[in-house]
Structure 1
Amino acid sequence: MQVIKIHHPFDKKLIPAGSIVLAMGFFDGVHRGHQAVIARAREIAHEKRLPLAVLTYDHAPGVVYRQYKGGFKYLSTVNRKLELLDELGVDLVYLISFTSSFASLTPQQFVDQYLVSFHAQTVVAGFDHTYGEAKEASMALLPKYAAGRFEVVTVPKLTEDGTQEKVGSREIRQLIDSGKVEAANGELGYTYQTTGLVVHGLARGRTLGFPTINVEHPQEERLPGIGVYAVTVKIGGKWYKGMASVGHNITFGDGNQLTVEIYLFDFQQMVYGEEVVVRWYKYLRGEKKFDGAEALVAQMKRDEHDARRKLSKI
């Protein structure tokens, strides 16, 4: 898959010659709704024997519009998004830097300078996709701006279990934040994952008989809500089963910073400095303050039993 990074205004020499079918969207998480958009675009690309391209952005547009206090937490970072798009059979990605100058384009300028310059023969997007202010940059209005230069295909809302609630990034973020990773995985269409670096912790788990790895995650990645989870961890190309605690270690004191500690089953290696991938399968319980180490260890044994049972089905 070819990735072309675009900064406004861009040099048109960057754009390959030849027509394309273009799917567009921010695609945070590349969930089942996004997959439906890309699948429709892929069908058209195969019918027309054209490359399948995607127009997407390097960060959330709301960052420019100051919509997020404390920064934005992504379901998929840029690298993860590109990985997912590659798995879906995309040939070319236009990765646009969403800047103030780009945001100042009118809908007509966006169509003329981008969609037309990209040689789009067909443009595909979800029913609620916008390319500016919603009232003047909706999918319903895109054919007017296209003026016959390309076909417009709008993919309808994908709903869950026949309900009217759409499968959407906002809804999935809420599920992740509340610890409902199984439901989030169902809407994503794959198991949610994060990345991180194994760092030194306080080594309390070792003294309790549950040695853990402490994973420091990038600030822009969205961690599941506080609690204990059944997970798998990829280290050096191999996956290991375990259980993860996202929390503040409240048994040993108040005011501790948020940490991610993972106990890997039947694992004895020293892995400080390793870059790892964590897949989140099931929420086991919330964070609880125990009377002492003995009560904590008893609970961790129950957690391990529950996690092993869940992960045995993978």
Structure 2
Amino acid sequence: MRVIKIRHPLKKELIPAGQVVLAMGFFDGVHRGHQAVILRAKEIAAQRGLPLAVLTYDHAPGVVYRQYEGGFKYLSTTARKLDLLEQLGVDLVYLTSFTSAFANLTPQNFVDQYLVNFHATVVVAGFDHTYGPAEIASMELLPKYAQGRFEVVAVPKLTEENSEIKIGSREIRRLIDDGNVTAANHALGYVYQTTGLVVHGLARGRTLGFPTINVEHPAEERIPKIGVYAVTVKIGDHWYEGMASVGHNITFGDTNQLTVEIYLFDFHRMVYGEQVKVRWYKYLRGEEKFAGADELVAQMRKDEQHSRQDLRELTTVHYDLQ
């Protein structure tokens, strides 16, 4: 998959010759709704014998205007998004920097300067996709701006089974913030994944018989809410099963900073400095303050038993994306 970074104004010499079928969207999380858009575009591209291109952005548009208190937390960083797009069979990605100059384009100028110069014969997006203010830059209005130079395909809303709830990034963010990673995984179409660096902690788990790795996540990644989870962790080329605690270690004080500590089952290596990936399978329980270390250890033994059982079941679930 080829990735071309775009910054306004568009340099036409960066754009390969030849027609494409173009899917467009921010695609945070590349969830099942996004996959429906991209796979529809892929189907059209295959029918016409054309490459499949995607127009997407390197950061959320609202970040530019400081619309998110505390910063925006992504379902997929740019690197993760590109990985998921490649798994879907995308040939070419136009990774565009969302600047104020780009945002100030009128819908007609956006079409004329970008979609036309990308040599799109068909443009595919979700039914509610916008490329400017919704009242003047909807999918319904895109054919007017296209002026017959390309076809427009709007992919209808995808909902959960027996529900009117749209599968969308906002809903998935809510599920993750609520700790409901199992439902989030179903909506994503793969197991939610974060990254991080293994750093030194207080080594308290080692004294309790549950040595943990402390994973420091990038600030822009979305971490599930405080609690205990069944997870797997990729170190090197291998995935290891374990359980993660997101919290403040309140049994040992009320002023501890938020940490992600992961106990890996049957794992006895030192891995400080390793870049790892974490897959979040199931929420087990909330953070609790125990009377002492003995009570905490007893609960952790129960958590390990539940995690092992849950992972035996959940890791056998087949997803098309990883």
Compute the TM-score of the two structures, normalised by the length of structure 2: 0.97
Question: In the TM superposition, what are the counterparts of 1:1-314 in structure 2 within 5 Å?
Answer: 1-313=1-313, 314=315
Paired AA for residue 160 in structure 1: E
The CA distance in 2 between the partners of 1:202 and 1:253, in whole Å, is 13
Whole-angstrom CA distance in 1 between matches of 2:210 and 2:165: 42
What is the alpha-carbon distance in structure 2 between the residues aligned to residue 193 and residue 108 of structure 1? 38
Q: Match of 1:303, as an amino acid?
A: D
Which is worse superposed, 108-117 or 157-166? 157-166
- Partners of 1:190 and 1:237 in 2: CA distance: 19
Matches of 1:288 and 1:70, distance apart in 2: 26
Identity, in percent, stands at: 78
**Separation in 1 of the partners of 2:231 and 2:16?**
42
How many angstroms does 1:65 deviate by? 2.5
* Secondary structure of the corresponding residue to residue 93 of structure 2: strand
Query: Is the partner of 2:232 in helix, strand or coil?
Result: strand
The one-character-per-residue Cα deviations of 1:143-175 (angstroms, maximum 9, x if unpaired) are 000000000000000011132110000000000
Q: Which amino acid aligns with 1:46?
A: A
CA distance in 2: counterparts of 1:127 and 1:43, whole angstroms: 17
Shift in Å, 1:64: 1.5
Partner Cα separation in structure 2 for residue 269 and residue 287 of structure 1: 27
- Give the whole-Å Cα distance in 1 for the aligned partners of 2:35 and 2:231: 24
C-alpha distance in structure 2 between counterparts of 1:51 and 1:5, whole Å: 18
Letter in 1 for 2:84: L
| C-alpha displacement of 1:70 | 1.1
Whole-angstrom distance in 1 between the partners of 2:217 and 2:63: 20
Q: What displacement does 1:259 show?
A: 0.1
- SS of the residue aligned with 1:175? helix
> Where does structure 1 differ by over 4 angstroms across 4 or more consecutive aligned residues?
none
Counting matched residue pairs gives 314
3-state SS of 2:125 partner: strand
State the Cα RMSD in Å: 0.5
Q: Secondary structure at the match of 2:170?
A: helix
Segments of 5+ residues of structure 1 without an aligned counterpart are none
Give the drift of 1:11. 1.0
SS in 1 for 2:50: coil
Alpha-carbon distance between aligned partners in 2 of 1:240 and 1:95, rounded to the nearest angstrom: 33
Q: CA deviation at 1:206?
A: 0.3
Q: In structure 2, the residue corresponding to 1:46 is in which secondary structure?
A: helix
| Structure 2 CA distance for aligned equivalents of residues 255 and 165 of structure 1 | 39
The answer to which of 156-165 and 37-46 deviates more is 156-165
Query: C-alpha deviations, 1:201-248, integer Å up to 9, x for none?
Result: 000000000000000000000001100000000001100000000001
Q: Which segments of 5 or more consecutive residues in structure 2 lack a partner in the other structure?
A: 316-322
**Amino acid of the residue matched to residue 49 of structure 1?**
G
Deviation at 1:10, TM superposition (A): 2.1
* Distance in 2 (alpha carbons) for counterparts of 1:292 and 1:22: 59
